[in-house]
Chains A and B, each alone.
Chain A
C-alpha cells in the first residue's frame, strides 16, 4: 500500500488549497482516508476522515465549514480542500489510512505555506 501526495503549495491568505493523495496497492472503497496536519514544530492534528463504522465522513469541529474531503474511486485518489486560508494553516498535511480506524499507512506529506 502506498499513498503519494501532491507537491508543496504556497498560497495567499484567503485562498484555497486542494491536496491530492493517490493510493496504490488497494482500492479506495476498501479503506478510509483521513487527513492529519502538523504545523512547524508542533504535534499531529486530526482534521477529518471517513469512518468505516458509521459509513460517514466526519470533520473535526475546528475545520467544519472550511474543509472538504472527497474521493475519486475511478482514479483511487483522495482530495482535501481547505478554504479561507490563514497563516496558522501553514503546515505539513498528511493523508493516512489503514485497517478500520487505524492509520497503518501515511502519505509523504504536503507542505502548505500561507503567506502574503
Chain B
C-alpha cells in the first residue's frame, strides 16, 4: 500500500504568517490528493481536492500544489480560525490513506 507522510507533525506560527505543510506519497498518485481540515472537537472538512482545486466556500488564503508524489498545502496568511489539524489523503485507488496529520497552532 502507498504510505502518506506529512511534515511537520506540528507547527506554531504567528497571525499573518505564511504556513506550508508537506505531504509525500511513497509512490506516485498523479494528482489524486485531498486536504482536510479538522478543528478541535469538530468533524473534518474537505478543503482541497485534485491537489490544487479549492472546495467551494474555502477561503482563498488556502492553496494546494504538487503532483506525482510531493504535495503542499499553503496558508498564505494564517488566521486564528485556521487553528486545526490538517490531513492529506490519497484517493487514486484503495486504500484511501490519510497522512498522520499536521497540527497548526498560533504562536
List residues of chain A with CB under 8 Å of any chain B CB.
34, 36, 43-46, 49, 51, 58, 60-61, 94, 96, 98, 101-104, 106-109
State in angstroms the CA–CA spacing of A28 and B23 once bound together. 32
**Closest CB of chain A to B50's CB: distance in Å?**
9
Across the interface, do A102 and B43 meet the contact criterion of CB distance under 8 Å?
A: no
Q: A61–B91 contact, CB under 8 A? A: no
Residues of B near A109 (CB, < 8 A) are 43
B interface residue numbers (CB < 8 A to A) = 1, 32, 34, 36, 38, 43-46, 49, 55, 85, 87, 89, 91, 94-101
Q: Is B96 a contact partner of A101 (Cβ separation < 8 A)? A: yes
Q: Is the CB of A101 within 8 A of B98?
A: no
A106 touching B98 by the CB < 8 A rule?
no
Contact A60:B36 (CB < 8 A) given known A98-B46, A102-B46, A102-B49: no
- Beyond A43-B87, A61-B1, is A103–B44 a contact (Cβ under 8 Å)? yes
Residues of A within 8 A of B38 (CB): 44
Contact across chains for A102 and B101 when beta carbons are under 8 A apart? no
B44 with A60: CB separation less than 8 A: no
B46-A103 in contact (CB<8A): yes
Whether B91 lies near A101 (C-beta < 8 A) is yes
Shortest Cβ distance from A111 into chain B, in angstroms? Answer: 12
> Please, could you name 7 A-B residue pairs with CB atoms under 8 Å apart, sorted by A?
A36-B98, A43-B101, A60-B95, A101-B32, A103-B34, A106-B43, A106-B45
